[in-house]
Amino acid sequence: MIETEEAEALEVPVRAGREVVEQQRVGKTTYRLEKVKCGKQGCKCTDGELHGPYWYSYRKQSGKLKSQYVGKQLKTNETSGDRPDE
């Protein structure tokens, strides 16, 4: 039996100031390990030392791209507790 993979390419734009470290596709969800800028003045990230990397999940929901913070560890069951200190 041939597995018909959801070939719908999920185009996830990289947000300004972010750096993509790794990307993984699980079903319709794209998981991406990103280094982020918090935007605080005087923070180390303004000098290019970004925070993270943290995992984010991206999926299309009724035509809209939904992103969700996952955490430092990739958990594909979407139960996360910790958040980045912002």
Specify the DSSP class assigned to residue 46.
G
Residues in the chain: 86
Distance CA 5, CA 80 (A): 27
Least distance CB 52 / Zn ion (angstroms): 10
Our CB check for Zn ion shows the closer of 6 and 85 to be: 85
Least distance CB 1 / Zn ion (angstroms): 49
Tokens matching residue 64: 């809209």
Our CB check for Zn ion shows the closer of 21 and 38 to be: 38
Least distance CB 17 / Zn ion (angstroms): 10
Residue ranges that bind Zn ion, judged by CB under 5 A: 38, 43, 45
Our CB check for Zn ion shows the closer of 10 and 48 to be: 48
* Residue 8 neighbours by CB under 8 Å, 6+ apart: 28, 60
